[in-house]
Amino acid sequence: MGPQFVAMSIEAQHCLTDMIELEMYLERFSGEMPWAICRKMRFVREKPPRKPYLRGTVSSATAKALLQLGFIERASGETFVVSKTGQAYYEQRLKPRA
Structure confidence at residue 2 (pLDDT): 47
- 73 vs 94, residue with greater confidence: 73
pTM above 0.75, yes or no: yes
Structure confidence at residue 42 (pLDDT): 63
DSSP string, 12-38: HHHHHHHHHHTTEEEE--STTPPEEEE
What's the whole-number mean pLDDT along residues 34-42? 86
Among residues 49, 60, 76, which one has the least CA distance to residue 15? 60
What's the whole-number mean pLDDT along residues 65-70? 95
Round to whole Å and give the CA distance between 40 and 78.
Answer: 15
pLDDT above 90 as % of the chain: 65
pLDDT over 70 (residue 44): no
